[in-house]
Amino acid sequence: MTTHRIRRETLVDRDLVERPNPDAATHDARTDVRTDARGSRPVTRRVETTLRLEAEPQSARTARHAVRDLCANVPPPPISEDRADVAALLTTELVANAVIHSGKAAVLDAVVADRTLRVAVSDTSDDQPAPRSGAQRAADAMTGSRDEGESGRGLFLVDELADRWGWHPHRDGAPGKTVWFELDVA
């Protein structure tokens, strides 16, 4: 089995949530394609990108574009436009939640491995994510307790559109959590 690796940029520090870099966005992209002994048939594909995102409104857009770029540049078979649209939407929601609720930098890790796209967003907030049901959102709209146009739909969309999703506290005991989703892409 032969391995081809394309490395576009190097990330200086992967532990960016605990030690933020002053740059607004740091980007790392890698591609691995394994082929059979004749070098003809992809057996495994792996493409990943990592971004450090400041707690700014444009971070969600930056992350969305990075995930779209990742989806557009995977080795065959390509990711469908519909799945790329879903990935971009859900990425936007996770990043917006992270930068709004933590008020600090967040880290996006997106990986396409074989037939799965996994996007994970790490932040420093200890708030546990929970999607609000349609009934909760409707009640909030009726009582005016939340601005329905701007809030409350992110994790509801993730719950509805992702094939799998979840979250976990940082495993090293540092404050914060990682929220992730997966989409089957081929």
List, for residues 107-124, the tens digit of each pLDDT value. 999 999 989 999 999 999
Residue 44: per-residue pLDDT: 67
Domains of the chain: 2-184 (3.30.565.10)
Residue type, 24: A
User: Could you tell me the pLDDT band of residue 152, with boundaries at 50, 70 and 90?
Assistant: low
Residue 145: per-residue pLDDT: 55
Residue 5: per-residue pLDDT: 32
If one compares 134 and 28, the residue with the highest pLDDT of the two is 134
**CA atoms of 95 and 91, how far apart (whole Å):** 6
Picking from 65-69, 79-83, 147-151, which range would have the lowest pLDDT averaged per residue? 147-151
User: Could you tell me the pLDDT band of residue 99, with boundaries at 50, 70 and 90?
Assistant: very high
What would the mean pLDDT of 89-103 be, rounded to a whole number?
A: 93
Using an 8 Å Cβ cutoff, are 82 and 126 in contact?
no
Q: How many CA atoms lie within 13 A of 143 on its CB side?
A: 8
Helix (H) / strand (E) element for 14: namely none
* Diameter of the chain measured on Cα atoms: 65
E runs forming strands in the chain? 2-9, 25-35, 42-53, 106-113, 116-123, 164-169, 177-184
Using an 8 Å Cβ cutoff, are 118 and 180 in contact?
yes
> ∠ at Cα 39 (37, 43), nearest 5°?
80
Give 47-62 pLDDT, tens digit per residue: 999 999 999 989 999 9
Give 11-64 pLDDT, tens digit per residue: 222 333 333 333 444 445 554 444 444 555 454 678 999 999 999 989 999 999
Helix (H) / strand (E) element for 158: namely helix 154-161
Residue 40: per-residue pLDDT: 52
β-sheet bridge partners, residue 28? 50
What would the mean pLDDT of 83-94 be, rounded to a whole number?
A: 97
Global pTM exceeds 0.85: no
Residue 121: per-residue pLDDT: 97
What would the mean pLDDT of 74-103 be, rounded to a whole number?
A: 93
Residue 2: per-residue pLDDT: 30
